[in-house]
Structures are given as C-alpha cells and as structure tokens.
Chain A
Amino acid sequence: EVQVVESGGGLVQPGGSLRLSCVTSGFSFSSDWMSWVRQAPGKGLEWVANIREDGSAKYYVDSVKGRFTISRDNAKNSLYLQMGSLRADDTAVYYCTSVDGYWGQGTLVTVSS
C-alpha cells in the first residue's frame, strides 16, 4: 500500500521559517521526480517545486524562488521543503506528490501575525 504523509505545517509569523517533511512508502521513491503543490484556502492548485530522482535538478515557481528549498533523502524515502521569508500569501495546504500520481493528505501552513 502506498503511503505519503506530510508533516511540519503550522502557524508562523510573517518573515518566519518552516520545514515541511514528507515520508513515503509503497512505491519506488528513489526512481520518481517529486513535487510540492499547494492550495490556498478556497483556491486552485499551484505547483511549488520539483526535484529530480537523484536531487541533481530542482525547479521552483517564480513566487518562491530564493525563499524555498526542496530536497530529498532517498535512503529515508523522504522529501522536504524548507520555507523562509514566509508571507501571508504562502498560506495554504501543502501537498507532497510523485510523478506517478501519489499524493499525501497535505499539511496546512498559516502565515499570520
């Protein structure tokens, strides 16, 4: 059975930092591109970042470049998103997803003072 479980969300003040984690099992994590996708309250889906299977390439949506860093640990079947200089418009549910279509249930990040 495939499992994708995000954690690390919470309430953070503007300008603060947060690190999201995603632990997976049941599929070949080390062979898959992985992504973070977010969804602001009541809004559509927005791709945030991608990382190649071996971590050698990373891509970001313009709005998070220089503030967010995606990384992975294939030995732990885990994906991460380090988020910094957080803004109110980063408030969203953040999903971890694989190129094969597996999604977690998401973790909520709220940026507010």
Chain B
Amino acid sequence: DIQMTQSPSSLTASIGDRVNITCRASQGIRKELGWYQQKPGQAPKRLIYAASSLQSGVPSRFSGSGSGTEFTLTISSLQPEDFATYYCLQHNNYFSFGQGTKLEIK
C-alpha cells in the first residue's frame, strides 16, 4: 500500500501570506495526485488534479506541483475563505489520503 505523508499537520498564517503544503508518497505515483479543501460540515472539494491541473472554477492563487514522490500545494496569497483543512489523495495504487493540514488564521 502507498502511504502519503502530509506536512505540516497544522499551519497558522495571515491574510496575504504564501503557504506551501507538502505530500510525500512512499513510492512513485507519477502525477496521480489531487488536492482537496474541506471546510467544517462540508464535503471535500477538489482544487487540483493530476498534481498540477487547476480544477475548473478554483481561483488561480491555488497551484500544485511535483511528480513521483514529492508534491506541493501552494496558495499564493491567502484569502479569508481559504482557512480550511487540506488533503492530498493519491490514486496510482488504490487510493490513500494524506493526514490533512489544518490552516488557521493568525
């Protein structure tokens, strides 16, 4: 099974900050990874697919990069609505999620 190690587990940042969240796969997964945002009481929402492709309707301040075993989600300039929990999901070999990153306002 592929393990996804996501870091950090929590992050405190201010409006306008640039933030990076990382996922590391226990073995190569090519670019078969997505990033999800989840707000309390809501279903997850996909932001990025195929590691770096922006889901339709998602603001361009979100971007993804990486391939193989190292992946990064970047939010270029934090907005109030971005404070949420973020997950990576690999679908190269079955599915597995990262543990999540809770992004909180400073």
Mutual binders A and B:
yes
A contact residues vs B (CB 8 Å cutoff): 35, 37, 44-47, 50, 59, 61, 95, 99, 101, 103-106
B contact residues vs A (CB 8 Å cutoff): 34, 36, 38, 42-46, 49, 55, 87, 89, 91, 94-100
> Quick one: which of A46, A95, A101 contacts B55, CB cutoff 8 A?
A101
Closest to A96 in B: B43
A35 touches B95 (CB 8 A): yes
A-B pairs with beta carbons under 8 A, tally: 40
- 9 cross-chain pairs, A with B, having the tightest CB-CB distances, nearest first: A101-B46, A47-B95, A103-B43, A44-B100, A45-B97, A59-B94, A105-B43, A45-B87, A44-B99
A interface SS class:
strand
A50 touches B43 (CB 8 A): no
